[in-house]
A and B are shown apart, each in its own frame.
Chain A
Amino acid sequence: MTTQTLTLPRAPRSWKKLAQPVALILIGVYCLAPFYWMLVSSLRRTSDIFDTSLFPQTLSVESYAKVFSGSSDFARALVNSLIVATVTTTLALLLAIFAAYAISRLHFRFKNVILAVIIATSMFPGISVVVPLLRLFSDIGWINTYQAMIVPSLSFAIPLAVYNLTTFMKQLPFDLEEAAMIDGATKWQAFRKILLPLAAPGIFTTAILTFIHSWNEFIIALSMVNNPKFQTATVAISKFTGASEFQAPYGEQMAAGVIVTIPLVIVVLIFQRRIVEGLTSGATK
């Protein structure tokens, strides 16, 4: 971006030169130290879990082995999370692509009202949807099913997806579609053959954001399911208990935390630029 290159000539005095690496280290430590501590703790043996050395004396995957064996069926929980988050993301995207196309490309009345309503729906606290649906789902026998988690999750996934995609599609030039339509393409063809490929990066970014939000969802999954077979990973972790009430299995908890987080961290590292663009598109519209 131009503004970045323009900042360069501002040659700093010597203390300003020092300020840069200091800021780098400061932010790095702030953001990463707790995560590092989780990683290190998960790699300690149960016997020296309370060590406070910065690096474990003996590396051990004991905690990881425990997570996948024993009573807590964590592999199952991961699969459940994957199912719920994938289905939620897919459904939300399917609906949002068409809604975003309509909002960004078509002329019709009440457009701003509709967009405002869709955004406003994301303001309602999760609990206000969970309580009444809990009642409904117990009446129709949906407790302990995937759909009981997926349907309420749509309440935050759809507004998120619509908002992101609309912002993205509005940035795409209309010229190509217009040209195609002048050449005789129908609207549907222009949408499918021109807009959709152009919007692919935006759809992808939206998919990542929606997936991360659904993967991290807690209150719905906690309320709608009480059978461990259907628990998602975030809920399963919070319910890890040790042999006695006063001895929480911290090693296992940290290992499970790392397992749940690592895929997200990898995705974040690979697609950081896109994710930041997606997150900030609303703020600088």
Chain B
Amino acid sequence: MDGTLDTARAEAWIRALAAAVAAHEAELTALDAAIGDGDHGSNLRRGFEAVLATLDDAPAASPGALLATTGSTLISRVGGASGPLYGSAFRAIGHALAVPDPDAGERPATGAPAVAAALAEGLAAVQRLGGAQPGDKTMVDAFAPAVEAFRAAAGDGVAAAARAAAAAAEQGATATVPMVARKGRASYLGPRSAGHRDPGAVSTALVFGALAAACRG
């Protein structure tokens, strides 16, 4: 069980993430108000409420399908920059996991190396769409180290790799504090954007924290 991301764990991931977003809505909004426009928390909450509704309506057949649907729902419901960025990330992760298995059709469960590759696809989708590099004070500053930590620990199974990724994402979010934003709305503040955690990097830490929590059981 520790070795794979099955459909139940994928669903647990998204439900844990929805709960984390709801619990941290005020914090995300406050961070966004400091250097953006103060709607990151409410936008993500609205998006994940819609995602929960899709999960309740129809059980997903595979982790890939579940995550791809999550991504599509976020794109359709969130708006702003976080909708397309998180939506594209989850769609890319889902599509990467849903590569048909020549023997068994779509894989019902996926091992840590495949999850690592899928997370890397998610990061690539974010960077392709948003154009951000590490150091720009965006979600990439949490996402990129998380992907790298997951890959490095993939040999220990999904649960251990997810724990490593969550810790790396947390550190990445903290590391955005002194950065001067070069992408997104915070970039308009110039040097005044320094001294605050980037709200997108903090919500990305929630994404990987939820993955670790879901894979623990």
Q: Are A and B co-members of a single complex?
A: no
